[in-house]
Amino acid sequence: MTDEQGTSGAILVVGGGISGLTAALEAAEVGNDVFLIEKSASFGGRVAQLNQYFPKLCPPSCGLEINFRRVKNNRKIRTYTMTTVKSVSGAPGNYQVNLEIAPRYVNSNCTACGDCAEACPDMIDNEFNFGMDKTKAAYLLHDMAYPRRYVINKAKLSADGAKAVKAACKYNAVDLDMQVQNVTVNVASIVWATGWTPYDATKMDNLKFGHSNAIITNMMMERLAAPNGPTGGAVVRPGDGKEVSSIAFVQCAGSRDENHLEFCSHICCMATLKQMTYVRERYPDAKMYVFYIDLRTPGKYEKFREKLTNDKNSFFIKGKVAEIVPESDGGVTVVAENAVTGDKIRQKVDMAVLATGMQPSLGLEGSPVSLNMDNSGFIISDNEKGMISAGCAKKAADVVTTTQSSTAAALKAIQISRR
């Protein structure tokens, strides 16, 4: 695939979330060949885990479904799931990228009938739901998974399980001898859309995440509220399933903090306001407490904030929660100083939501090639080298900003291939 200028016209997009999908489509729809790779078993990324997302509070099926269809229909895009970049050699315009495809143990015969999962006796923690429920060791990542193909966690599969799964498949799709595959692709430029990982809440030892079921993260809240989540959309306390009559939102949990993430993740204030609407829809009288340093509601979202600050059972307290005490009844007490009145507050609540920030995944996991990164692990684009960052790999942002930056990244990537 070399064009007349001697460059490979193709573009590699690393990461198949909303950002990678956008970049891949934008580049492909103007005629470039695109390799779109994704580390997990399905495209969709973090957006797939949300209950609703801004700006219109759509369910993720809304935005992802149309993008999946566009990808499916576009013959310029080749998709690889369970695939990561191992190494990159060559020069801008002509990179040889070594990709590693992890074994899925299910081949393309799969019709997603689900018989293997039904037959499988082995249960594993459901990582898509942050471990709040279990799933079979042969599973579909989520209802909307694309490609629509099962995946098997072979390490957790018992000998009996292996037999059962194999026997259950009518299409001979289960292949437990599948090996790691290596593929080399030739591309002009690489768009890094590697996204983000929720900051590890156990690192804030004073917030006691993991010490009580009542303490969850904002992403866990999304799963709780999602119709395809562990509770079928009921916002209840994990563990005992108690309905919540009071809830505290702990803003900046590990964000804007030089001991954790030193930047503002940009989305957590709006995410909390959004999640307050989830709670309000389900519990008209529940008391909601938001503990914040500054409430950041950019642009038109000011109206959204007003709606919630006018709610008579919502209380906004300026002061960061610096201590959470698990209580014997399953609830927790959050402790903060109200910087306006100057007194400490000890608020007992049924559930506390830690608004944890976005940690750039590539910075966290380490990059396979040398990339320009800032102190926090965000990738700084090097357009000359054809190494372009997009979405939350570039900076913490909401979906709208992410898709804009992905379109921009696609344009930069195309420019390298047309030199």
Residues forming contacts to another protein in the complex (CB under 8 A) are: 206, 252, 256-260, 293, 318-323, 335-339, 342-344, 346
Q: CA-CA-CA-CA torsion for 398, 404, 407, 412, nearest 10 degrees?
A: -100
Query: Is 278 or 291 the residue whose CB approaches another protein more closely?
Result: 291
Query: Is 170 or 344 the residue whose CB approaches another protein more closely?
Result: 344
Q: Nearest CA to 49 among 213, 230, 214?
A: 230
**Cα–Cα distance, 86 to 180 (Å, whole number):** 12
Query: Is 195 or 254 the residue whose CB approaches another protein more closely?
Result: 254
Least distance CB 321 / another protein (angstroms):
8
Residues 6+ apart with CB under 8 A from 306: none
Query: Is 236 or 335 the residue whose CB approaches another protein more closely?
Result: 335
The residue length of the chain stands at: 419
Least distance CB 36 / another protein (angstroms):
38
Least distance CB 256 / another protein (angstroms):
6
Determine the residue type at 98: N
Per-state percent for the chain, helix, strand, coil, to nearest 5: 30, 30, 45
Least distance CB 308 / another protein (angstroms):
21
**Cα–Cα distance, 356 to 376 (Å, whole number):** 15
Query: Is 25 or 336 the residue whose CB approaches another protein more closely?
Result: 336
**Cα–Cα distance, 63 to 231 (Å, whole number):** 23
**Cα–Cα distance, 20 to 17 (Å, whole number):** 5
Query: Is 46 or 208 the residue whose CB approaches another protein more closely?
Result: 208
Q: Does residue 8 contact residue 94 with C-beta atoms inside 8 Å?
A: yes
Query: Is 172 or 206 the residue whose CB approaches another protein more closely?
Result: 206
Query: Is 244 or 324 the residue whose CB approaches another protein more closely?
Result: 324
Q: Does residue 263 contact residue 222 with C-beta atoms inside 8 Å?
A: no
From residue 78, give the alpha-carbon distance in Å to each of 90, 285, 353: 21, 50, 39
CB atoms within 10 A of CB 340: 10
Least distance CB 410 / another protein (angstroms):
36
Least distance CB 108 / another protein (angstroms):
49
Q: Nearest CA to 68 among 39, 48, 40, 51?
A: 48
Least distance CB 359 / another protein (angstroms):
16
